[in-house]
Structure 1
Amino acid sequence: MTHSAENLTDLVSLRVDREGHVAEVTLLGPSKGNAMGPDFWRELPLVFGALDADPEVRAIVLTGSGRNFSYGLDLPAMLPSWAEYLGGEALAGPRTTFLGEVRRLQEAVSSVAATRKPVIAAVSGWCIGGGVDVIAAADVRLASADAKFSVREVKVAIVADLGSLQRLGAIIGEGHLRELALTGRDIDAARAERIGLVNDVHPDQEAVLAAARELAAEIAANPPLVVQGVKDVLAANTEEQVRAGLRYVSAWNAAFLPSKDLQEGVQAFLERRDPHYTGE
């Protein structure tokens, strides 16, 4: 089904609003904390593909509903379809299927980066895992003072594979990226601004959203084809490296992700306890 920016009304996980030449995409969940389940991964590329194709849209604001941007991947919703693979005994068939699944999710996130229209992410509250992948694909990131960020995949025995490891190096530098990805620690808005993950920090959610809308309107007032050209030329600096990195990590995870540590990490997450990893 092809969506236009005008008929994006039958969505479950996202809402699209328009104000002049600016579109606003809001994460809705429906899981707690706008966690990213099957509906999100299906709808994200549809929405950004439609906005990319709409000549009336010149800039996009991306934000979350409620108090948080996103808790990241909705593990309880996504795990059932991965059960055969995550059991640790998967042969070539299940591994190949999982490789395709990882690449499908990667392409969903990449649809944010690939749209010709500049994307401004307005982040409040938690932005974890997949949430960081998505804002890393945006052009500009703004935060409220209560925002917290975490490249947390390592905590559940997963190599982050949806874009953070490929895109954040150019945004925050390799040293900061390695620290965040290897520890899985949380950082606050002040640290995020200091390392360049966000451009500015605003007092609260209302203020950061207002700032994002103002910035999007300022961009939208410029000649649209020139703005798109600027984004296209900038993408040439990193696009091939990002694409190659995504292909590599998807193949790496298809080969090496199943482990006792992964099972322990997932079980500990579901049981809300600390995991105990053995390197198996």
Structure 2
Amino acid sequence: MAEDDVTGAAAEAELKKGFETLEVVQPDPSVPVHYIYLNRPAQRNALTPAFFTDLPRALALLDRLPSARAIVLAARGPHFCAGIDLSTLAATSSPRSADRAAASELLRRRIIALQATISAVERCRKPVVAAIHGACIGGGVDLVAACDIRCCDEGAFFAVKEVDLALAADLGSLQRLPSIVGYGNAADMALTGRGVPAAEAKAMGLVTRVFPSRAAMEEGVAAIARGLAEKSTVAMMGTKAVMLRSRDLTVDQGLEYVATWNSAMLMSRDLEEALRAQLEKRKPNFSRL
């Protein structure tokens, strides 16, 4: 058996062991799309310490799985996410040490570890589509801001609520939202803590598509994910990597980066297959990575 097959088989076996706070499923074995569901509906999917272990593990496994060409991040129950569980927040913010400097350093390390979980979403090489319904608050906004495409239903609303807990949001909203919705809109959300309804979220660019109902959103997101999964994985990974890197560069630096990237990746079998398929007027058959 090839090494890639062993890696994929091992990842699939690990996924079957399950997660404490997530459900990971492939609804249709013939479609290379996997869903990660936040799965604490009774607690409105509030984020616990186990979540911050579960999510990067799930993403790392799906990143290695050839049958996962696109990922949908969704949630069970009536709400997407109520933010960080308050008991988790209390435990994180109260490191036990008589030495104030040591306590501060411990708290800093804890925050950085939590940030890494959210950043794992955008660092995953596969495209991640967020399907948002109901409340998306605090840590939920951090989470969806790290996704590649964000969709919601008309009943969804968004709020950066950390200011009402007497703290600054520290898991990515303040860093990612300005480039998504603009500085003014991000400042409005972060400083007021107000709820932003779906229509306004669409107008400011926080989401790209709003569906009339949750069922319509689920159907629409499934279609988006299927479309992504049909494209070249090499192209998907490259596009995502270049866009993320270019976000923090000047235009000239970004152009230099993509030139370097494509000098290594442009001579792929997928490019040859895409051109051949165009000429033969058929669907391409891309490599499994």
Give the letter aligned to residue 14 of structure 1.
L
- The verdict on how the C-alpha distance between 1:145 and 1:26 changes in structure 2, with shifts beyond 3 A counting, is same
From 4, 9, 24, the counterpart of 2:11: 4
The answer to whether the 8 Å contact 1:38/1:78 transfers is: no
* Superposition TM-score, scaled by structure 1 size: 0.80
The answer to whether the 8 Å contact 2:41/2:78 transfers is: no
- Please give the per-residue CA displacement for 1:144-173, whole angstroms capped at 9, x wherever unaligned: 010010011111111111011111111111
Distance 1:102 1:213 in 2: 34
Percent of aligned pairs sharing the same letter: 36
How is 1:73-112 mapped onto 2 (pairs within 5 angstroms)?
A: 73-84=84-95, 91-112=100-121
- The verdict on how the C-alpha distance between 1:84 and 1:101 changes in structure 2, with shifts beyond 3 A counting, is closer
> Is 1:68 aligned to 2:103, yes or no?
no
Which protein is bigger by CA-based radius of gyration?
A: 2
Larger relative contact order (CA 8 Å, sep ≥ 6): 1
From 116, 128, 134, the counterpart of 2:125: 116
> Is 1:157 aligned to 2:166, yes or no?
yes
Q: CA deviation at 1:78?
A: 4.0
Q: CA deviation at 1:10?
A: 2.5
How is 1:1-280 mapped onto 2 (pairs within 5 angstroms)?
A: 4-8=11-15, 9-18=17-26, 19=28, 20-29=31-40, 32-84=43-95, 91-238=100-247
Q: CA deviation at 1:77?
A: 3.7
Q: CA deviation at 1:90?
A: 6.4
The answer to whether the 8 Å contact 1:145/1:190 transfers is: yes
Give the letter aligned to residue 205 of structure 1.
R
Distance 1:123 1:6 in 2: 28
Runs of 4+ in 1 over 6 A off after TM superposition: none
Cα RMSD over matched residues?
Answer: 2.0
Distance 1:108 1:140 in 2: 18
Unaligned runs of 5+ in 1: 242-280
* Superposition TM-score, scaled by structure 2 size: 0.78
| Number of residue pairs matched by the alignment | 238
Partner of 1:269: none
Paired residue secondary structure (2:74): strand
Stretch deviating more after TM superposition (30-39 or 178-187): 30-39
Distance 1:95 1:240 in 2: 31
